[in-house]
Structure 1
Amino acid sequence: MTVTLDFEECLKDSPRFRADIEVVQSDVSELETRLDKLVKQCQAMLDAGRAYCQTSRSFVNGLRELGHQCSGDKMMEECMGKFSKKLSVILDAQEEVIEITQKSVKMKLQNFVKEDVRRFKDVRKEFERGSEALEGALARNAQAPRGKQHEVDEATNALLNARRTFRSEALDYVLEINVIEAKKKTDILLAMLSLMDAQAQLFCHGNQSLSELDEYRRKLSEEHKQFVLNAAREKRDMEQRYAAIKKKDVSYDDSMMDFNADAANGIAMEGYLYKRASNAFRTWSRRWFSIQKNQLVYQKKFKDQPTVVVEDLRLCTVKTSSENERRFCFEVVSPSKCCLLQADSERQQQAWILAVQNSIASAFQERREDPHSPRQRCSSVSASSLGGGGGGGADQESEGCKALEEIQAIAGNRQCCDCGEPGPDWASINLGITLCIVCSGIHRSLGVHFSKVRSLTLDSWEPELIKLMCELGNSVINRIYEARIDEITIKKPLPSSPRGDKESWIRSKYVEKKFIQKLPEIGRNPPLRRSSARRNRATVQDRNVQRPPIKPKPNRATLARGTGLSSGDLVQKNNTGSHKDEEEEEEEDLSGLHPGALLYRSAALQNFPVMADALAHGADVNWVNMAEEASTPLIQAVSANALAACEFLLQNGANVNQADSNGRGPLHHATILGHTGLVCLFLKRGADYNAKDKNGKDPITIAVDNANADIVTLLRIAKMNKEMREMDGAFGQSGDETYQDIFRDFSHMASNNPEKLKRRSADPRY
């Protein structure tokens, strides 16, 4: 509160003047307390600012040193150098603000308290002493007796002196009050203005400094996006290599060894061997051997200079050695010496002997052609089996592009399923949704048991996978996983939301499943009832083991697919259907099924929304229906010839080799029913073509009995490919490319022209 006192009023020394004095004194006392506290806070802020600048300097130096460390990467070095320079400039401005604050704020406020407020207190004390003296003089003057003139004169003179002194001190006090009120406005406002100017200059300077990097930051952002795409591509390739290697038997070192005379690095073969020393102790040492430049060499450490065992392989021979007590030994004999070596297994021993023999032959003949190579044999099988009907690669590529456009045209797929970002170019293949690059990274971090992420533009897409993606879509999946979104206070993230919000949403949605519709406590009895028709067919099948499993009921297998029907809708549709199978005893109520049984029934009906709903509610993808020969959802999908449904179950963890009570797995059923496209799919997913059913028949035998040329071709090529992989051939040719070409042709045919594969035999035995 600002109080201005008049000089005339102080001469009267009225109660109003005294009241105004008290208000001013209280105001100045409070001002002093607040200014003292503000000065201390300012000092703490300055100390913290200096500490911040010091640690920030250390951080900038660390960035600069990291840039020097990345001298081999020009982009990283440039990024670290430019950013550290700009941060240094901003820190200089920050330190300047600290100095200005020290001078303009702390010093001014401190001086105001120490000088102006102290002077005010001193004048106040003088005023109070004069006021007390005046009170005493007035009292003595009033008490002077009328009859004693000398006392009256003394009292009168003392009163005049006391009044003169008081009024002079009162005028000084009023002047000091007016002065401190004026200085309070000017000094404090000046300090605040100085601080505002310094802060504005700091942020303007920082903004200007970082704005100079705008173009560079945009360029760096584009490069970073490309790095993300490249990293995703490399990770996908690495995962494919990992999956391929994991399928191999790596319990022996020889399974990882291949001879390649034309290797780019000049090393035809390499690996660990034990070498017996030629000294009197005959000690054995493990060394890394390699065949390179027609020489056999070894080394202990990678940086060691290789030691040559055989100068020229053309002058030596190799043979097994059985004279030594150690197993798996062989000798490399040259005119000058004999080197005894030991492998880790018999197969590795034979591989090394064969590698040395082929290296000797390669030394005499640089190029050798073998018309009976495994690759050519596989190519001849491909040509004879397919008859050139596979179609051109350009046509398949154009079909793939068209199919990808169809995926993006599915309802809701134009925006990211989780945040709504337009134009998503990533997908989760087991969920059947499209995602933006940020959400795809979060999905990838969940693990493949929750979401399998693939790029719509960078990865290759198999036709059955495209077919699966077209059956689902963002709208269908969100109706399942966001069914209760309106009942929950959590807000769905936007494209501009922070990554942390998106990650929290995605984990709540797919891992914790907070938003799906809770199932009622019904349908907890896993076994499903078998109709009389199924029991009769099962009895016939028991009598004649060559009969295939029955197909699904016509009125259910022919229901419309991909319509988003719920389990209750399926029940209603079945109950109101015009066609009824006379062999059926009763209609089944799908709404009362637990998730596993619901997945089982919907797989045969090819109803993808219901299948996805069942999986969302915890259905076991390998659920077994003991009432129907231990059949599984995957076998049900096979019975309906549902290629996309089988792919959906496989992508969600279905076991491709899980057999029913008759010992028949999905591959057996697909072979019996003549579903060539499914046979191709299961073989690509690692189905065991050697598995035998209770009748002792494997899929190849069944296909031959059925006279199905296409399936016989596929099974035999798959078997041939595996055998060639296990061969210890000299040239390391496995027929992989031809194998992939043949299966790619069948996959495209099964997805795009399935009528061309309906060549199942009419043999009455099946």
Structure 2
Amino acid sequence: MAVTVDPLVKLCSGMIEAGKAYVSANKLFVNGIRDLSQQCKKDEMISVRFSWIQNKILFDQAQRSVKQQLHNFVKEDVRKFKETKKQFDRMREDMEIAQVKNAQAPRNKPHEVEEATGTLSITRKCFRHLALDYVLQINVLQAKKKFEILDAMLSFMHAQYSLFQQGYNLLDEIDPYMKKLAAELDQLVIDSAMEKRDMEHKHATIQQRDFSYDDSKAELFNVDAPNGVVMEGYLFKRASNAFKTWNRRWFSIQNSQLVYQKKLKDSLTVVVEDLRLCSVKPCEDIERRFCFEVVSPNKSCMLQAESEKLRLAWIQAVQASIASAYRETTDLTVKQMTASPSVSSIDSASEPRERSVRGETILHRIQCLPGNEYCCDCGQADPHWASINLGILLCIECSGIHRSLGVHCSKVRSLMLDSWEPELLKLMCELGNSVINHIYEGACEAQGLKKPGPSSSRQEKEAWIKSKYVEKKFLKKLGATEVLVSVVLNPSCNSAASLSAECEVSEDSSGEAEMEPETETQSDPEDGRELHPGALLYKASQARNLPVMAEALAHGADINSVNDEDDRKSPLIQAVFGGSLIACEFLLQNAADVNQRDARGRGPLHHATYLGHTGQVCLFLKRGATQNDGDEDGQDPLSIAVQAANADIVTLLRLAKMNEEMRESEGPFGQPGDTTYLDIFREFSHMASHNPEKLKRRSVHFRHSFR
């Protein structure tokens, strides 16, 4: 402002002193006013209103009003503003020095810490007060300039009007315009006074507040910020060199990354590329205070905040950004899975209708399995009910009898009325009526027993079903089943085909692990016939052979038994090693403990995470697997997944944990799950069942090293 007004004052002085050159000086003065209007384009009142002034100027009025008034405005008001600016700059430098000294104060020297903290607090308060004064002067000066210039010009015009009475006719057209300017001037003065009063009131109010930098800064992170910057500010960063020097850098959390700059205009340096794979924790075992560490799979970064509250704010901001990052990832996954054929969970993933058609196709396949065209127990045609843990189809009357046995024996579901998860549909395709009747009715022919028919009474059907599934009177001896020997000797054989040449089987493993040959494949055939039901279940679970697993359970195998010679692993853990999602589902449907741990403290979720079996991880989480406890090495599933940089499993684990916390916060009557959580797990289930090759993320080398 001073730069613009000063030339105008000098031109006015020159005009007064050079009276003999009145015309030329007057012209220069008018041109100066026009230059001022060009500088004030944003202020229409100044830029337009004075463009009409020509040569009608009074020298003495110019001396009194224009020159003196504008001179005072430039020399006094602007000078005070410049002095305040210098004080503000000096105080800002003092605060920078105090911040550095406060950060360098060693933890083991309390007196230095107290002195540095006190100095920083005093300097900060002074800086805040001076900054407010500085801002106040800027605003007052900006407001004052609007009427100072206009007031000077208007008084000058009134002097001209009095002087040139004889030129009244010439100036008569200007009279209404001057009255309008006067009214506008009055309004400007009123508005300026009100604005000044409001600013002074705000200034006084802010001065009464607590100027704690920490308190205000601690709340300045926002994961939903429009510009994408969750939090930003200065932190001290420990270098990775041998001297471990600390440097003050401008850090920010943005786009799911932690970045910093040396200077404001420098390019960004990325510290953590993907926040989903990192963790953050406070550090108390180093000399400097207020430190925290951000740990990613391949490096860690030690940072220092300026206070404890700021440290807590940064930790919370990183944690919130981690949660937001995988939430955004899961939202994107849903969109991709439902919109892009390349990552869809089913063959044609453009609309839910396609998935429904796929489910109907699999249901048709289930109904077309050998023996499934008739009820498994009475032979009634076209059965529409199923026992999902046995893998058989039933008529409505037999399904009612099965339901009366209890869910520990049979879990009944309607083919048409109930919703079916993809892994459960695939499980039904692995068994069927012919396979199960081969197991549970194997001795009927030898005993000469007659099976009830569709027209038999309910009492006859109920007696048959209880004898068949509860008392198990019709089982062949375990050693008499040839297929058991074949599965022990050859785990990769298709056992369902061995049981029925016409049985269509589609054993879909999770696609994430290759089956490794067992040492028992070279054993004598008699060893297979001598197997105990529990041992047979243990081997068949890894061999992914559901018919043999079903036969072992029929002969009394304990589904949660452990192998003392193999780190007390359970059949469910063996199914994880076998890589079969369907084998895991079969065991879980038959009451396998999803949280049972081996001798090394690892449950099925630990092993599935180590091996990178995304489909199995999704299944176990849906079935209630806990992920809070670590194994003997202190590793929980989330830390294992982060270390392996498996973003899919990290996303599933964190989403499940967030959903669990949400349900706990809502109490016993809370919703069963967040919509996003349910959608994501549904999509992963479909992908694991129908497109397992898209979940291959881990190397065979990692699996071998783990085992």
TM-score range, shorter chain: 0.3 to 0.5
TM-score by length of 1: 0.43
TM-score by length of 2: 0.46
Bigger Rg over Cα: 1
